[in-house]
């Protein structure tokens, strides 16, 4: 499996000054899969700091990777994997060249089959909330290989359990963390998700 657990914390907008406190808050509730999106301030530095502090305890991804250059920066910073919002063969190949596992953003059955043909490690169904929670069961039958499905986009504590009945994992962003939010709030929200 690409992820350690079933919840991936998406810390979009986190800064290097705040990233360690936020990850500490998540780790207290055993949320140990963390994504730092590339459209966050100085995102690669946040990845470096988290990797230095938590090493293998946290499974760390660079998110919103949309160019080969970002894939290279993600690997250089020390991320374990990359997440993309869309399917781009050049980005997938760049991630592979850099030694990164890939969770590729897909939505349609055509994209799912194309991503599997590229050998991605997981499929990020995005935006998941616009599809039925049972979407993976509707498409897995024709797939020739097993691949983990991760639901991202619109997932929160009210619908997470529904998605986890059908998906291997969920990515949770604004329902867990918003830029500038105190770590104490992240800790409270993580506690709600982890019960």
From its phi and psi, is residue 83 left (phi > 0), alpha (psi between -120 and 50) or beta? beta
Which residues, other chains included, contact 116 with Cβ-Cβ below 8 Å and sequence gap of 6+? 123, 143, 144, 145, 147
pLDDT at 1 > cutoff 70:
no
Q: Which pLDDT score, from 0 to 100, does residue 144 have?
A: 75
Give pLDDT tens digits for 64-73: 999 999 999 9
Cβ-contact 64, 83 below 8 angstroms: yes
**Taking the complete model, does pTM exceed 0.75, yes or no?**
yes
Cβ-contact 59, 47 below 8 angstroms: no
Strand partners, 7: 170
pLDDT at 192 > cutoff 90:
yes
CA distance 109 to 99: 27
Average pLDDT over residues 58-81: 98
| Mean pLDDT score across all residues of the chain | 95
How sure is the predictor about 89, in pLDDT bands with cuts at 50, 70 and 90?
very high
CA nearest 130: which of 97, 163, 98, 157? Answer: 163
pLDDT at 6 > cutoff 90:
yes
pLDDT at 119 > cutoff 70:
yes
Instruction: Delineate the domains of the chain, giving CATH numbers in brackets.
Output: 7-194 (3.20.20.70)
pLDDT at 10 > cutoff 70:
yes
How sure is the predictor about 3, in pLDDT bands with cuts at 50, 70 and 90?
confident
In the block, tokens 């919002």 appear at 85
Which residues, other chains included, contact 179 with Cβ-Cβ below 8 Å and sequence gap of 6+? 12, 13, 14, 15
Give pLDDT tens digits for 41-59: 999 999 999 999 999 999 9
Average pLDDT over residues 150-154: 97
Residues with a catalytic annotation lie at: 35, 124
Q: Which pLDDT score, from 0 to 100, does residue 142 have?
A: 84
Compute the half-sphere exposure of residue 36: CA atoms within 13 Å on the CB side of its CA.
33
Strands (E), 64-162: 81-83, 101-106, 122-125, 149-152
Q: In this structure, what token pair is assigned to residue 53?
A: 């502090």
pLDDT at 189 > cutoff 90:
yes
Long-range contacts of 189-192 (CB under 8 A, 24+ apart): 189/157, 190/9, 190/25, 190/26, 190/28, 190/29, 190/31, 191/29, 192/157
């Amino acid at each position: 499996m690409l992820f350690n657990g079933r919840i991936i914390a998406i810390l979009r907008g986190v800064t290097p000054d705040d990233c360690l406190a936020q990850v500490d808050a998540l780790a207290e509730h055993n949320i140990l899969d963390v994504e730092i999106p590339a459209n966050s301030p100085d995102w690669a530095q946040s990845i470096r700091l988290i990797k230095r502090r938590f090493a293998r305890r946290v499974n760390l991804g660079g998110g919103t990777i949309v160019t080969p250059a970002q894939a290279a920066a993600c690997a250089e910073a020390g991320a374990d994997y990359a997440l993309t919002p869309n399917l781009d063969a050049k980005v997938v190949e760049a991630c592979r060249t850099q030694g990164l596992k890939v969770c590729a953003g897909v939505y349609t059955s055509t994209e799912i089959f194309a991503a599997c043909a590229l050998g991605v490690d997981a499929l990020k169904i995005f935006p998941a909330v616009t599809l039925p929670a049972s979407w993976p069961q509707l498409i897995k039958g024709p797939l020739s290989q097993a691949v983990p499905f991760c639901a991202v986009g619109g997932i929160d504590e009210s619908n997470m359990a529904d998605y986890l009945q059908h998906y291997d994992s969920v990515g949770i962003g604004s329902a867990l963390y918003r830029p500038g939010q105190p770590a104490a709030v992240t800790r409270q929200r993580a506690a709600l998700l982890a019960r």
